[in-house]
Amino acid sequence: MKLLIVDDEKLTRDGLMHNIDWKALGIDAVVQADDGIHGYEAALAFQPDIILSDVRMPRMNGIEMAEKLQHINPALSIIFMSGYSDKEYLKGAIRLKAANYVEKPIDLEEITDALKEVVEELDKLQKLKAPLDLRRLFFHGNTNADLPLNDKVFEGSQEQLDSLSFLIRQRKEAETENALRRLHREVLSCEGTDPAYLRHFYRQIIFLFLTAAETYNITSITQNADYYLYTAAGQETLVLLWDALFQISQAYFTASSGRDTDIVSRVDKYLEQNYKDPALTVLDAAHDLGFTNTYLCAAYKKSCGKTINQHLTQIRIRHAKELLANSTQKLYEVAKNVGYADGKYFTKLFTRETGLSPKEYRGRHRHDI
């Protein structure tokens, strides 16, 4: 079982982390977040069973965070902590069916008891199989309602998720689709599986697409993250759950196709606009274009066969040639106007790239002025 602590007070977070016997409670993994926004992001990535959250926090309070998360996972158990007797916050906690509400300053015995109650309740729910009618609806829909169900149970593995993550990040569309279809065929044959478990597992796969889309800055996917996760969480049948998964897969690969080519044109345009800046770096380009430095460098080199710095040098040398041939600017002025603050370095680089010194190049092409 997994738990997420969300509190803007580091002292509280550390106190809970180090003074509660998590293993004795049956909680295997605990992570922290320092406000509601980070808590929401951590919950999407970590998929906790229980959230232990402060109520009043900067940027996003605990009630707002919980409300967003329960749209995605209605079964999520939340224990609120608050040092304020604020009736409106308490009403919010009740509306969200919070598992418990603990007042600050924290009493470790009280919070441990609250956690025990929640863990015991979750254990009971996990041991109970979904009612037969709900499983029949989930696997067969409204048709074939009288068909018997088998008792096979699907157990997804981290290995399956890791394998899918690799294919998705490598943007191997055919291999990803085949892997998803194989997994779905296996699920179809395991009619003893709790539908809630399958919704959770399929949402984990959807989250793999979302994290890859974030890495590659595919905003058409990342801006609709809540929609994709919420859609999967609310499906009553396996057919619709598969449709939700396949929808994000198609959207991801459609947005990815030709993306490297688009990146090259954007980088080239950016370099042409900024080559005169002697402080220009690849990090600047990545930041201004909205990519990670690692991804931008790899994508550009994969498409062009050269690095961004190599192309920047080519642009600067091309403009230097134009200035040497078509102006009377001094060499240090030419260097400065193409992005080199050091005239000696410019001369050395120009000679290496063209086989001629700037002075020799000007002598041969001066007639073009």
Single out the residue of 77, 83, 104, 101 nearest to residue 91, CA to CA: 101
CATH 3.60.15.10 is held by the domain 260-368: no
pLDDT for position 91: 47
Answer whether 80's CB lies under 8 Å from 55's CB: yes
Give the Cα separation of 347 and 357 in Å (integer). Answer: 6
Residue 308: the pLDDT is 94
Report DSSP state, residue 355: S
User: Tokens for 263?
Assistant: 């990146």
Please check whether the two domains, 2-127 and 260-368, share a CATH topology: no
How far CA 178 is from CA of 162, 188, 275, 340, in Å, comes to 15, 15, 45, 51
Q: Which residues of the chain have pLDDT under 70?
A: 83-100, 124-130, 143-146, 258-261, 367-369
Separation between Cα atoms, residue 194 and residue 283, nearest integer Å: 48
pLDDT at 129: 47
Which class does domain 2-127 fall in? Answer: alpha beta
The DSSP string of 67-89 is: HHHHHH-TT-EEEEEESS--HHH
- Mark out the alpha helices in the chain (DSSP H runs): 10-19, 22-25, 36-46, 62-72, 87-95, 108-127, 132-140, 158-169, 173-188, 195-215, 219-222, 225-233, 238-256, 259-274, 282-289, 293-304, 308-326, 331-337, 343-354, 358-365
**Phi-psi category of residue 50: left, alpha or beta, with phi > 0 → left and psi -120 to 50 → alpha:** beta
The pTM of the whole model exceeds 0.95: no
Distance in angstroms (rounded) separating the CA atoms of residues 63 and 95: 10
How far apart CA 351 and CA 357 sit, in angstroms, is 5
φ, ψ at 53 (rounded to 5°): -130, 140
Burial class (CB in 10 A: 0-12, 13-18, 19+), 230: middle
Cis peptide before 358 (omega within 30 of 0): no
DSSP state of 330: -
Is the CB of residue 192 less than 8 Å from the CB of residue 149? yes
How is the chain split into domains, by residue range? Answer: 2-127, 132-256, 260-368
DSSP 173-232: HHHHHHHHHHHHHHHHT-TTS-HHHHHHHHHHHHHHHHHHHHHTT-HHHHTTHHHHHHHH
Nearest to 173 by CA among 248, 224, 231: 248
What's the full length of the chain, in residues? Answer: 369
Token couple for 154:
């699907």
Question: What pLDDT is recorded for position 85?
Answer: 52
Give the Cα separation of 134 and 9 in Å (integer): 43
Please, what is the Cα angle at 87 between 82 and 88, to 5 degrees?
95
Kindly state the DSSP code that residue 102 receives in the 8-state scheme: E
